[in-house]
Structure 1
Amino acid sequence: MVTPPEPLARFYSVIPAGGIGSRLWPLSRADAPKFLHDLTGSGSTLLRATWDRLAPISGPDRIMVVTGRAHRAAVEAQLPDLTDPNVVLESEPKDSSAAIGLAAAILVRREPDVIIGSFAADHVISDQRGFRRAVVEAVAAAEAGYIATIGITPTDAAIGFGYIHCGEPLDIADAPRAVSVDSFVEKPDLSTAQSYLADGNYLWNGGMFISRADVLLTQLGETEPQLLAGLEELAEAWDTPRRGAVVDKVWPELKKIAIDYTVAEPAAAAGRLVVIPGDFDWDDVGDFAAIAKLHSGGRKSDLAILGENARVLADASSGVVISQTGRLISLIGVTDIVVVDTPDALLVTTSANAQRVKSVVDALKLSGRSDVL
């Protein structure tokens, strides 16, 4: 019997479990965001799979989940080993800087030399060993004082992901693959993505950050000192009876901004950010085309069907069908179709237009149709 590797010393995993996942409407809603769904057919929700991936690396007692107050019951039901001190509840979404920054500020007070790793609740990674190897190198880089991220080696010219432009190799003990980050690049058009793939010096931005908590907070404070001050005030009261009052006062005033802009990009510009290439399968399941691809293995001839009571008749059709109603769905001669059937909303589109689902959500918001959001 092979003995599993020990959890990493000083390491704490942080899972930000927020966001609605508007490109997965009407499956993903405000009260049931995508990380609470099984989108892979594995029997585990994305959140549960993330926990199972991280537990052997940090230990199950060293995983903190940051989520919305409305999702606490569902999160705790899916993660029975999650301890109460490791549940951080947001009164309203404030994006990743506040979520990850607050976790860092709380944990550094409990354990001053702690190294934290932030891993989104809605990513799909099946290569556990490859993932662990990358995290081990990222932790080594964090021990050397860097902020580290894990970039995914591209397998195609994807336009749905941001990219990292790699710089020069670095000499960091126990992190032989570490390279500097030259810059971050927003989601490109197809021709630009093809040039990145051909260049070979670009990685997909997986949004994973590993750092000593104090180093991350210092970088955040250089960019957004007022935001850091608010997070420090929250963290100081967090493990005291004053928490509720301080959260009600401070949280609504926090700036809503992604950690890419407050930590990652400024750290890269200052030469403090390194990237570890991750040669493992990865997807952030950003839209229904990604779900279809996960289930088809990239083949165009398959139809992925999700839903416990899904009833589908298909002839010469491909794509994905997600059913929550048990209603019979018949497909004849349609390719790369996306059908999402829920009790109060039906979506029909194609894989090529999957990114545009967000515009439907935006239109529903403008029209006041919050009942289906």
Structure 2
Amino acid sequence: MAHPIDDFFAVIPAGGIGSRLWPLSRAESPKFLHDLTGSGVSLLRSTWDRLLPLAGRDRIGVVTGRAHGVKVEESLPDILPENVFTEQDPRDSAAAIGLAAAVLLRRDPNVVVGSFAADHVIKRQRVFEFTVRQAVAAAREGYIATIGIQPSEPAVGFGYIKTGEELVIDDAPLAALVERFVEKPDLDTARAYFADRSYLWNAGMFIARADVLLDELAANEPELHAGLTEIAAAWDTPERDAVRDRVWPTLKKIAIDYAIAEPAAEKGKLAVVPGQFDWDDVGDFASLWSLVADGHRGDVTVLGRNENVLSDESSALVVSQTDRVVAMIGVENVIVVDTPDALLVTTPEHAQRVKGAVSSLHQRGRDSVL
């Protein structure tokens, strides 16, 4: 399984600031550029390494903002410059993935494109590769394929995919039709989904022939499709910047789930392959703590300068980026993020609310700390 897939091109959307991980993640240094797991490399680099056996060095691209293009190339020194697709500003995932697909289709009419977020943590590499190869097989048959994660708990922080009828596809023994998408549920509903086992977490991974993906986009969002097609026609020419700068601001902001995946599911064109690998989207500091503590929160887990943290009968996640001493005495289940210009103190139960603090700071004109 080590050989790359000949007709496959992996795309890594690397956008967003990861506001639930503020103040560690910032607009100029978003979470995908950080080493959040202690692996020694950024989440982006880990994603590249994960996709390398499937696509090969020359067939991995990144879609990112202009502000991050240089840092992306520094993190991925092996990436080909023509495979860095820079956005003028964020237009959500349909535009980002659609741009890459439209450019790649002009370069290779038979290409199968796969989209994999830059900031996810995945373990069990061989199982991941086996799952992606099944999704590519389904894509060759004309389906838009997604990878659903078998839930390990009744989580309320993820959307869900309801699996339907099994498909008979060579080299994709686990593929099934998607019956429907479900938005993030309440806890009782999540428990029912977890017990059902036909519901999978929506991990936001999509694999499809570029022509099929763009045909679906044209059917559902024709203006967005037309804009991306115009940009793609100029992409590998000297007119790229001028056309992108003119057209990009006019593109609709919409997620690929709504623009392509959900309508495709209604038409019976969306397949899902269950992923049995370990997956985490590191969506907030609570999930980060569980990840780095291997699921067992207790005592004190430190990311950063361990010598600056003192603890007496406490349990916490401490992210230390300064020379300041962080001393905790008799506190339980807290999260402390200490950076040079901002200090965050919260708990796992309230970690999702960090995004609200970021919005509040923006409204107050405190963008210098964002």
Return the TM-score normalized by structure 1: 0.97
Alignment CA distance shift 1:309-1:143 (3 Å): same
1:180 CA drift (Å)? 0.9
Determine which of 105, 124, 143 is the counterpart of 1:146.
143
- Equivalents in 2 of 1:331, 1:181: separation in Å? 48
1:323 CA drift (Å)? 1.1
Which residue of the partner structure matches residue 125 of structure 1?
A: 122
Which residue of the partner structure matches residue 285 of structure 2?
A: 288
Q: Deviations over 1:268-316 (max 9, x none)?
A: 0110001000000000000000110001222232422111566111223
Q: Deviations over 1:120-146 (max 9, x none)?
A: 000000211010010000000001110
Which residue of the partner structure matches residue 29 of structure 2?
A: 32
Which residue of the partner structure matches residue 262 of structure 1?
A: 259
1:92 is the counterpart of 2:119 = no
Secondary structure at the residue paired with 1:44? coil
Q: Deviations over 1:22-56 (max 9, x none)?
A: 10111111000000001111111100000000011
Q: Deviations over 1:202-258 (max 9, x none)?
A: 101000000000000000111100000000000000000000110110011111110
- Equivalents in 2 of 1:351, 1:321: separation in Å? 12
Cα pair 2:200 2:274 within 8 Å, conserved: yes
Determine which of 347, 351, 361 is the counterpart of 2:348.
351
Secondary structure at the residue paired with 1:125? strand
Cα pair 1:310 1:324 within 8 Å, conserved: no
Which residue of the partner structure matches residue 9 of structure 1?
A: 6
Root-mean-square deviation (Å): 1.0
Which residue of the partner structure matches residue 323 of structure 2?
A: 326
> Which residue identity lines up with residue 76 of structure 1 in the other structure?
E
Cα pair 1:310 1:325 within 8 Å, conserved: no
> Which residue identity lines up with residue 223 of structure 2 in the other structure?
Q
Determine which of 28, 31, 47 is the counterpart of 1:50.
47
> Which residue identity lines up with residue 360 of structure 2 in the other structure?
A
Determine which of 239, 242, 247 is the counterpart of 1:245.
242
Cα pair 1:312 1:329 within 8 Å, conserved: yes
Which residue of the partner structure matches residue 203 of structure 2?
A: 206
1:161 CA drift (Å)? 1.0
> Which residue identity lines up with residue 128 of structure 1 in the other structure?
Q
Cα pair 1:97 1:262 within 8 Å, conserved: yes
> Which residue identity lines up with residue 252 of structure 1 in the other structure?
P
- 5+ residue gaps in structure 1? none
Q: Deviations over 1:85-112 (max 9, x none)?
A: 1011111001100000000000000000
- Equivalents in 1 of 2:266, 2:305: separation in Å? 48
Which residue of the partner structure matches residue 215 of structure 2?
A: 218
Secondary structure at the residue paired with 2:278? coil
Aligned residues: 370
Secondary structure at the residue paired with 2:252? coil
Cα pair 1:22 1:29 within 8 Å, conserved: yes
1:363 is the counterpart of 2:360 = yes
- Equivalents in 1 of 2:307, 2:128: separation in Å? 33
Identical-pair percentage: 63
Q: Deviations over 1:151-174 (max 9, x none)?
A: 000000111111111111111111
Which residue of the partner structure matches residue 164 of structure 2?
A: 167
Cα pair 2:289 2:297 within 8 Å, conserved: no
- Equivalents in 1 of 2:309, 2:317: separation in Å? 11
1:319 CA drift (Å)? 3.1
- Equivalents in 1 of 2:311, 2:210: separation in Å? 52
> Which residue identity lines up with residue 202 of structure 2 in the other structure?
N
Return the TM-score normalized by structure 2: 0.98
Cα pair 2:124 2:277 within 8 Å, conserved: yes
Alignment CA distance shift 1:148-1:38 (3 Å): same
Alignment CA distance shift 1:350-1:118 (3 Å): same
- Equivalents in 1 of 2:301, 2:92: separation in Å? 32
